[in-house]
Amino acid sequence: CCGESPFAVLLANSTWERAEYQIQAEQVVLTLPADTARPLAARYAWEAWPQCSLYNGAGGPDNHTGIAATPWCWNRTAPCPY
């Protein structure tokens, strides 16, 4: 459903870059951009109008029974201050 990934990571140069993702079992696994060993933070759906949502597995956007994940930003220890 997504034209581009709803996930982004904060790089050491203070820029956000999209990170591709896969859903494996019940986990979301991000593929980090090249030359990124450990991002400073990660965020999901941090845009005014995200293109897609993750759902709780009980439905989706077409049948209206699922619950969509809310946007979040995490800096490895706490929610992002920005």
Q: Check residue 82 and give its pLDDT.
A: 65
Distance separating alpha carbons of residues 31 and 18, to the nearest angstrom? 9
The CA angle 19-22-77, to the nearest 5 degrees, is 55
Give 5-47 pLDDT, tens digit per residue: 889 999 988 899 999 988 888 888 999 888 888 899 999 988 7
Distance separating alpha carbons of residues 33 and 59, to the nearest angstrom? 31
Q: Check residue 8 and give its pLDDT.
A: 92
How many Cβ atoms from other residues are within 10 Å of residue 78's Cβ? Answer: 9
Average the pLDDT over 45-59 and give the result. 76
Give SS3 for 66: coil
